[in-house]
């Protein structure tokens, strides 16, 4: 806008020079119409353009002068020397006002008022224009009003035959209507004459539109504002959502009642009904109504019926709101229950009491069901979070001058409420990244042969015990060269490291990495991908990046369905029990002394001809005591990499109720929580992501 | 192919703003300083939409609209007039001459785009 302001200032200076010229000549020949026109036009432009670019004071000041010269043009006012002097004085005043806006001296407002009053005095009363700053015709308040309660309108658009004569194309108008909401359009062709008689420059068709929209009726009228005089437009409200449902449910039809009472059998009823003609058919046959009119009316009926049906189902699926703390405590209780049930099963088997075993099995079944139900209650469709991103994408893309279509899929995918709550910030960051760094500006996209409008897709789907959420854009993709350069600069990798493309992409998730060249208000405010990653990992999720340069980036978040109870693999190290989340476990293999010797002390082993590095947990947790002859490696897969964890013994699957470690142990590295087992012992839940990071750091230090 | 829009206005700042706004939306813009200039500039070619001011030297907006409607190429081309007059007479004259729509000054870039999209689809 500043460039526009500057252009306006320059323009005013030119116009003022021209104006002074014209005024001095006008003094000599006051009857010269061309000169009067010139003065009027200059004032008109100063006023009109001034209002456009925020020079409201100048626009207001010039307005009265323009009115006076308009009257002179019409011949109702004459020109004298005083008027010329006054106008010249006003030129100086305008100049001062422009200079003030450029940072010059403050213009004398009392002088401006004096001049204005003098001009006003020249205008005969009643000649003053009714409104000085006319409200603009097409205030497009549509987007803002979309959230309002939807109403259904019937719009009958009957263009006059000469509609095309002023260059109007009715199709964009209908399209604009259709974009406002759920709609049905019917085109009436019955006025169309025979081909031989058709006047191709005349409009013979008309349309009925049934539209359900949250926009108000003025927004609909606004669409037709240019064709008001060239057509008949009828807009009728035919359904409002707030309406009570009393008369919406018609009572049963007579046939149904007779059938229900047993007075009529079904076959007879149907054959009789078939004999009966529908009212529409009867009307068309009688020639009273055109068939397209009947079709249009039927469409309206169907549209509103569907709408009402939807509303009724919505109202009937009753629900109650419960404070989430209540749910949390329910889930906690269920957790305790699962723990107690494990204990019961254990004791029952120890005693070998068949009656007790029977009861414990029954309790086990009920507990499992209770657990699933309690978890189910906390599940929410992720769609609620998606909705707020639509607005964000719209606002940001306009701010950055980019055109972006935002597509969401899988809104109905359910996730634990606590996961959803924690997901908001990371998703905001990823989408902002896509808008800011991913999608290019329209002109760049055009040059690259892509559609000017970029696409960002937010998708959620189930995958086993996980939910995958991906943010995909068709932007410029990750620039591996730039990432590598930056990573070396920041000391995240070395010049001579040979990295695969994927490893380079993963570098952007390292702490302290940000490729944005300039910091914008949208992203790149020091909060990088590493924050997203640690956020997601904090509740057991993983982040994966895939990107093709030039055609886009996809970031996939893999999240656990729930945070309260997970399937785990129970293992032992010395006397202690540990749980590894089963979701990331791929397989278990043995590790013998012989295997270890073969690797020359390196922590790698060969699994089916593939080298797998492992982490020796006894070392990590500095456990003393003797290790068994044959140890076990639990192989996990994270972000496509296989990494083993060496433990003493693998016991088996375990329903793990996650307990927090409490205040003092909260920051313990490598352990994300604890669980209580059937016999009351505590098992620690391993945070395998953290353990891997820790091992990598150690490796880096010793290397 | 990008749609071509002819912008006619004697005010340089308005021309600049209109051009900038439309080019950003991906339209091609031809600028003219008044009606006479506009007619000269579109000789032998065609544009998809015309946006014209009403008060201009040499040939004003109403005259331009009449001249365009008289040419077979421009009989059905959408024409938008920019007007500061809120009262009906000037707008009416424009409509009589064959203008398709109008925008009342001062207007915001979004309003300009909304009107252009409404007429061009």
Q: How far apart are CA A435 and CA A79, in angstroms?
A: 60
Contacts of A139 (CB under 8 A, 6+ apart): A222, B111
More confident residue, A214 or A445: A445
Size of interface A-B (CB pairs under 8 A): 125
Domain shared by A287 and A173, yes or no: yes
Chain-chain contact of B10 with A45 (C-beta, under 8 angstroms): yes
Q: What is the pLDDT of residue A256?
A: 74
Confidence of residue A244 (pLDDT cuts 50, 70, 90): very low
Give B12-68 pLDDT, tens digit per residue: 888 988 998 898 888 889 999 888 888 888 887 889 999 998 888 888 888 999 998
Residue A357's alpha-carbon distances to A363, A366, A676, A678, B106, in angstroms, are 10, 14, 21, 15, 84
Instruction: Report how many domains make up chain B.
Output: 1
Q: Please name the residue that has the structure tokens 């009402």.
A: A308
* Structure token pair of residue A9: 């200032």
Chain-chain contact of A446 with B26 (C-beta, under 8 angstroms): yes
CATH number, position B82: 3.40.50.2300
pLDDT at A140 over 50: no
Q: How far apart are CA A514 and CA A527, in angstroms?
A: 8
High-pLDDT (> 90) share of chain A, % = 4
Q: Is residue A127 part of a domain?
A: no
* Structure token pair of residue A174: 């209908």
Give A591-626 pLDDT, tens digit per residue: 888 888 887 878 888 888 888 999 988 888 888 888
Confidence of residue A1 (pLDDT cuts 50, 70, 90): low
Alpha-carbon distance A520 to nearest alpha carbon in chain B (angstroms): 20
Domain shared by A446 and A575, yes or no: no
Contacts of B7 in chain A (CB under 8 A): none
Q: What's the whole-number mean pLDDT along residues A640-647?
A: 88
Q: Is residue A130 part of a domain?
A: no
Q: Please name the residue that has the structure tokens 């806006």.
A: A101
Q: What's the whole-number mean pLDDT along residues B76-80?
A: 90
Contacts of A175 in chain B (CB under 8 A): 121
Specify the DSSP class assigned to residue A437: I
Contacts of A265 (CB under 8 A, 6+ apart): A259
Residues within 8 A of B (CB atoms), A 54-83 only = 59
A498: enclosing H helix or E strand: none
Residues within 8 A of B (CB atoms), A 387-426 only = 401
Any bridge partners for residue B74, and if so which? none
A324-351 and A354-378 helices cross at what angle (nearest 10)?
A: 160
Q: How far apart are CA A352 and CA A239, in angstroms?
A: 70
pLDDT at A524 over 80: no
Chain-chain contact of B121 with A168 (C-beta, under 8 angstroms): no
pLDDT at A29 over 90: no
- List the single residue in B with minimal CA-CA distance to A142: B114
Q: What is the pLDDT of residue A310?
A: 74
Last residue in a domain, options A560, A589, A605: A560
Q: What is the pLDDT of residue A126?
A: 58
Q: Is residue A320 part of a domain?
A: no
* A10 touching chain B per CB within 8 A: yes
Q: Is residue A95 part of a domain?
A: yes
* A171 touching chain B per CB within 8 A: yes
Any bridge partners for residue A209, and if so which? A155, A185
Domain shared by A164 and A117, yes or no: no
CATH number, position A653: 2.40.50.180
Domain shared by A18 and A151, yes or no: no
More confident residue, B115 or A27: B115
Domain shared by A357 and A449, yes or no: no
Last residue in a domain, options A560, A588, A606: A560
Domain shared by A352 and A387, yes or no: no
Task: Choose from B11, B53, B79, B98 for mutation: most chain A CBs within 10 A.
Answer: B11
Q: What's the whole-number mean pLDDT along residues A681-700?
A: 82
Residue A66 annotated in active site: yes
Domain shared by A581 and A648, yes or no: yes
Domain shared by A367 and A483, yes or no: no
Q: What's the whole-number mean pLDDT along residues A319-334?
A: 81
Instruction: Report how many domains make up chain A.
Output: 5
Domain shared by A539 and A569, yes or no: no
Q: Is residue A322 part of a domain?
A: no
Q: What is the pLDDT of residue A146?
A: 43
Give A487-497 pLDDT, tens digit per residue: 888 777 777 77
Domain shared by A355 and A402, yes or no: no
Domain shared by A200 and A309, yes or no: yes
Chain-chain contact of B100 with A168 (C-beta, under 8 angstroms): yes
Q: One of A63, A303, A433, A537 is an active-site residue; which one?
A: A433
Q: Is residue A151 part of a domain?
A: yes
The ipTM estimated for the assembled molecules is 0.86
Domain shared by A298 and A188, yes or no: yes
Q: One of A63, A66, A437, A689 is an active-site residue; which one?
A: A66
CATH number, position A149: 3.30.70.1110
Residue A316 annotated in active site: no
CB B79 within 8 A of CB B100: yes
- Structural domain boundaries, residue B69: 4-120
Q: Is residue A9 part of a domain?
A: yes
Chain-chain contact of A52 with B106 (C-beta, under 8 angstroms): yes
Residue A80's alpha-carbon distances to A28, A65, A76, A113, in angstroms, are 10, 15, 13, 21
Residue A501 annotated in active site: no
Q: What is the pLDDT of residue A659?
A: 77
Any bridge partners for residue A333, and if so which? none
Specify the DSSP class assigned to residue A264: S
Looking at every residue in chain A, the average pLDDT score rounds to: 80
Starting at the edge strand found earlier in the chain, the sheet holding A466-473 runs A404-409, A454-463, A466-473, A552-560, A542-548
Last residue in a domain, options A560, A583, A607: A560
- Structural domain boundaries, residue A11: 2-122
Lowest pLDDT segment from A185-194, A275-284, A522-531, A675-684 = A522-531
């Amino acid at each position: 806008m500043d460039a526009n302001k500057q252009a306006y200032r320059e323009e005013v200076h030119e116009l003022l020079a021209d104006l002074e010229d014209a005024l001095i000549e006008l003094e000599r020949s006051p009857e010269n119409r061309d000169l009067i026109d010139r003065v009027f036009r200059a004032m008109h432009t100063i006023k009109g353009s001034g209002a456009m670019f925020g020079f409201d004071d100048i626009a207001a000041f010039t307005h009265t002068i323009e009115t006076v010269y308009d009257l002179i043009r019409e011949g109702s006012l004459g020109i004298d020397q005083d008027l010329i002097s006054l106008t010249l004085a006003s030129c100086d005043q305008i100049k001062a006002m422009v200079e003030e806006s450029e940072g010059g001296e403050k213009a004398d407002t009392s002088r401006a008022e004096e001049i204005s009053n003098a001009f006003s005095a020249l205008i005969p009363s009643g000649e003053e224009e009714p409104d000085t700053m006319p409200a603009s015709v097409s205030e497009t308040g549509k987007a803002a009003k979309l959230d309002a309660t939807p109403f259904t309108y019937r719009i009958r658009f009957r263009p006059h035959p000469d509609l095309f004569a002023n260059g109007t194309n009715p199709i964009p108008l209908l399209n604009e209507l259709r974009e406002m909401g759920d709609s049905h359009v019917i085109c009436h062709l019955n006025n169309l004459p025979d081909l031989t008689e058709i006047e191709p420059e005349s409009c013979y068709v008309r349309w009925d539109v049934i539209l359900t929209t949250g926009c108000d009726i003025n927004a609909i009228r606004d669409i037709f504002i240019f064709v008001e005089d060239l057509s008949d437009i009828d807009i009728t409200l035919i359904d409002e959502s707030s309406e009570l449902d009393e008369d919406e449910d018609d009572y049963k039809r007579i046939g149904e009642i007779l059938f229900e009472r047993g007075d009529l059998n079904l076959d007879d009823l149907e054959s009789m009904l078939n004999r009966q003609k529908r009212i529409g058919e009867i009307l068309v046959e009688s020639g009273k109504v055109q068939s397209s009119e009947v079709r249009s009316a039927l469409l309206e009926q169907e549209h509103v019926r569907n709408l009402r049906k939807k509303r009724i189902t919505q109202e009937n699926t009753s629900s109650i709101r419960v404070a989430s703390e209540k749910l949390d405590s329910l889930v906690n209780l269920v957790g305790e229950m699962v723990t107690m049930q494990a204990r019961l099963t254990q004791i029952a088997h120890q005693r070998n009491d068949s009656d007790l075993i029977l009861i414990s099995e029954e309790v086990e079944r009920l507990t499992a069901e209770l657990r699933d139900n309690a978890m189910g209650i906390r599940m929410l469709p992720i769609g609620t979070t998606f909705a707020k991103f639509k607005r964000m994408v719209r606002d940001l893309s306009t701010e950055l001058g980019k055109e972006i279509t935002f597509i969401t899929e899988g809104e109905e995918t359910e996730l634990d409420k606590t996961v959803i709550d924690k997901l908001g910030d990371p998703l905001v960051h990823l989408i902002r990244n896509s808008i800011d760094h991913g999608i290019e500006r329209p002109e760049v996209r055009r040059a690259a042969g892509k559609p000017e409008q970029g696409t960002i897709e937010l998708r959620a789907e189930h995958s086993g015990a996980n939910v995958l959420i991906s943010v995909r854009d068709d932007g410029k993709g990750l620039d591996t060269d730039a990432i590598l350069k930056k990573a070396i600069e920041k000391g995240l990798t070395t010049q001579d490291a040979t990295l695969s493309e994927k490893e380079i992409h993963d570098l952007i998730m390292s702490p302290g990495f940000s490729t944005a060249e300039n910091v914008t208000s949208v992203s790149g405010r020091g909060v990088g991908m590493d924050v997203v990653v640690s956020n997601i990992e904090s509740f057991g999720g993983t982040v994966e990046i895939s990107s093709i340069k030039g055609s886009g980036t996809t970031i996939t978040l893999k999240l656990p369905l729930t945070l309260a109870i997970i399937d785990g693999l129970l293992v032992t190290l010395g006397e202690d029990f540990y749980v590894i989340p089963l979701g990331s476990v791929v397989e278990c293999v043995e590790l013998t002394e012989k295997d270890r010797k073969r690797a020359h002390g390196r922590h790698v082993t060969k699994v089916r001809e593939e080298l797998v590095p492992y982490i020796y947990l006894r070392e990590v947790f500095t456990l003393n005591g003797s290790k068994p002859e044959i140890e076990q490696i639990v192989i996990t897969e994270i972000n496509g990499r296989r990494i083993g964890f060496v433990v003493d013994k693998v016991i088996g699957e375990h329903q793990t109720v996650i307990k927090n470690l409490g205040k003092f142990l909260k920051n313990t590295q490598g352990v994300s929580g604890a669980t209580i087992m059937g016999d009351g012992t505590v098992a620690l839940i391993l945070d395998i992501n953290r353990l891997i990071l820790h091992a990598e750091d150690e490796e880096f230090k010793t290397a | 192919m990008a749609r071509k829009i002819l912008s006619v206005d004697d005010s340089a700042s308005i021309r600049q703003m209109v051009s900038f706004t439309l080019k950003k939306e991906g339209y091609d813009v031809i600028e003219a300083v008044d009606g006479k200039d506009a007619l000269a500039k579109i000789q032998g070619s065609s544009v998809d939409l015309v946006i014209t001011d009403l008060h201009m030297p040499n040939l004003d907006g109403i005259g331009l609209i009449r001249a365009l409607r008289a040419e077979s190429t421009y009989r059905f081309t959408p024409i938008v007039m920019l007007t500061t007059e809120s009262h009906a007479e000037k707008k009416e004259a424009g409509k009589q001459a064959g203008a398709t729509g109008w925008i009342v000054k001062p207007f915001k870039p979004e309003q300009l785009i909304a009107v252009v999209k409404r007429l061009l689809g």
